[in-house]
Structure 1
Amino acid sequence: MMKLLVTGATGQLGSLIVQHLLKKVPAEQIAVSVRNPQKAAHLKEAGVDVRHGDFTQPDTLKAAFQGIDRLLIISTADGDRVQQHMAAIQAAKVAGVSFIAYTSVVNARESQLVLAHDHAKTEEAIVASGIPHVFLRNNWYVENEKDMILAAVSGAPYLSPIGDGKVGWATRNDYAEAAANALTLSKHDKEKYELSGPLRTHTELARIVSEVSGKEIKVEQIDVDTFGEFIASNGVPKEAVPFVKAIQSGIRDGALAVESDDFENLLGRPLTPIKEKIREMISK
């Protein structure tokens, strides 16, 4: 029996991926590696094999990956990501894992995006491991824009520090389904999937928000420093502001403007229109 494992399965992306896997394969074929198994009690009840795995404790990963054939490494969100990912790759080698899928970022090894460095190092390490693999190079979740969208619908200007920079927004659920497909596909004809939705500017996104909400949304172009001051005064921790600013600068310079039909091909269907997700966001 082929055994699949998803790391970080109680996170926002991971939990959606497991939901999609449960529609595709029997629960007993699915394992998850989580930092806090108590948070995955609902998965255990559904018949999923819940294992303790902490990226900062490599020995737990070696134990969690035992008997696993196909592994999905969801990139971690905090701490020394490269070190954490290296621990997972090493644990996969020790456990005899035969396939790795990894959630990366668009154009990871050539991108100037501040996020890309850790993903590039991880991709290189997976290649060096010799384990067959695919890289799921995610663009941007439309859910990342939720706070700005809700504020704009309430009458605030839509602040944009990215100018004419384009983003391939798509729903987190589409990214999750694509990852579940990648993990269960027996054969891949490519090593990397550039998972981008249709490219849009903030102005084009605001037009969709306006259409869905029936309200006029005004986009206010600002520079990155002004944006940094705005988010710092609206609850973003001071130490996180330079990182957020660097991401916005990268987007402004075209780091997310990657066009590809890989996403639809991996899904086997058209992408969910982001209009639907925006409608859901503003109706809650």
Structure 2
Amino acid sequence: MNLTITGATGQLGTKITEAAIKCFSPAEIVLSVRNPQKAAHFAKRGVTVRKADYNNMQEMTEAFRNTDVLVYIPSTSFPNTVRIAEFENAVEAAEIAKVSQFIFAGFIADHENNPFKMSPFFGYAPRRLASSKLNYSLIRDAMYADPLAAYLPELLDRGRLLYPAGEGKISFISRDDIAHAIVQLVSKPELYGGRYTLTGEKAYSMDELAQILSRVGGSPIRYVPMTPEEFASTYDEPQGFGEVLASLYAAAGKNLMAEVTQDYERLTGDKPEELESFLVREFSKGT
């Protein structure tokens, strides 16, 4: 098995790399990264690190050589046209390098009627793979649970949950669970070619989420949302991101982020970690 992971120094990529090292020999793993220095700690553990910018097809082609399974993690670039150009390069490079299996780590917000401003990319990528020469599998991640723990101190200070999601519900899953599921897919060729949506076992209304955050933080938090415009201006770092983030909660308000599946259990044989349990563990690390 020769496994290549792109974006391996990002938040999800790091988790996937750590999970892969537990499942495979480091000699079987290649990290395709823009800045190899950021992956030096993995190189010291026997993992091969290759420089490959998403905007440089030649670098990616070389990085992808002799790859049995490629895990592609999109960049965080926006607007959509940037990610699409990067993905075009990756698909073409993978074809030239004759990658045997391309695993795309996508996002649940890929519907045709989804107002999330990055939704067009996540709808495009599966269609682009379908028209390619590659054998591929699709991963659709629900909302990351991880940022909730990081934002909890701010929410406790405010005493309110701010997300402009209306009456919509959201399903969450941790990056650790996503990484575990993806590596399990890598290790199970009989499951290649599928479309897997990784979620928790429940979708939460914002009132329910506020109750969970209150218990975890030990102080009352009520759901008192900002308007989309106020939310966008408050969290507009980097510039333009606030509007993108607000559009994600607009999607949640349409219940387009509420999907719940058993795909995590199908891939791993286990249940995903329950949201409150995850938040208690993560929040305790910072207290």
Coarse TM-score class (shorter-chain normalised): over 0.9
Name the CA distance, whole Å, in 1 between partners of 2:10 and 2:170.
23
The aligned counterpart of 2:225 is 221
Equivalences for residues 87-106 of structure 1 within 5 A = 87-106=89-108
The aligned counterpart of 1:263 is 264
Alignment-mate amino acid for residue 131 of structure 2: A
Kept in 1, the 8 Å contact 2:169–2:255? The answer is: yes
Name the CA distance, whole Å, in 2 between partners of 1:281 and 1:23.
21
Listed as ranges, the gaps of 5+ residues in structure 2 are none
Name the CA distance, whole Å, in 1 between partners of 2:48 and 2:40.
10
Name the CA distance, whole Å, in 2 between partners of 1:13 and 1:29.
19
The aligned counterpart of 1:84 is 86
Kept in 1, the 8 Å contact 2:150–2:283? The answer is: no
- Structure 1 segments of 4 or more deviating over 4 A? none
Deviations 1:13-64 (A, max 9, x none): 0111011111111111111100011111111111111111110111100110
Equivalences for residues 1-284 of structure 1 within 5 A = 2-79=1-78, 80-106=82-108, 108-110=110-112, 112=114, 113-188=116-191, 191-197=194-200, 198-232=202-236, 236-283=237-284, 284=286
Alignment-mate amino acid for residue 221 of structure 1: P
Report the TM-score when normalising by structure 1.
0.92
Name the CA distance, whole Å, in 2 between partners of 1:75 and 1:104.
8
Cα offset, 1:160, TM superposition: 2.8
Report the TM-score when normalising by structure 2.
0.92
Alignment-mate amino acid for residue 86 of structure 1: E
Name the CA distance, whole Å, in 2 between partners of 1:238 and 1:189.
39
Deviations 1:84-123 (A, max 9, x none): 0110111010001110100111262545133221122111
Cα offset, 1:189, TM superposition: 6.5
Alignment-mate amino acid for residue 93 of structure 1: E
Alignment-mate amino acid for residue 201 of structure 1: S
Name the CA distance, whole Å, in 1 between partners of 2:177 and 2:256.
21
| Counterparts in 2 of 1:131 and 1:237: CA distance versus 1, 3 Å | closer
Kept in 1, the 8 Å contact 2:216–2:280? The answer is: yes
Name the CA distance, whole Å, in 2 between partners of 1:84 and 1:24.
29
Query: Percent of aligned pairs with the same residue?
Result: 26
Name the CA distance, whole Å, in 2 between partners of 1:252 and 1:191.
28
- What is the SS of the residue equivalent to 2:117? coil
| Counterparts in 2 of 1:237 and 1:30: CA distance versus 1, 3 Å | closer
Name the CA distance, whole Å, in 2 between partners of 1:144 and 1:264.
23
Name the CA distance, whole Å, in 1 between partners of 2:239 and 2:35.
28
Alignment-mate amino acid for residue 101 of structure 1: I
Cα RMSD of the aligned pairs, angstroms, is 1.7
Kept in 2, the 8 Å contact 1:149–1:158? The answer is: no
Listed as ranges, the gaps of 5+ residues in structure 1 are none
| Counterparts in 2 of 1:171 and 1:111: CA distance versus 1, 3 Å | farther
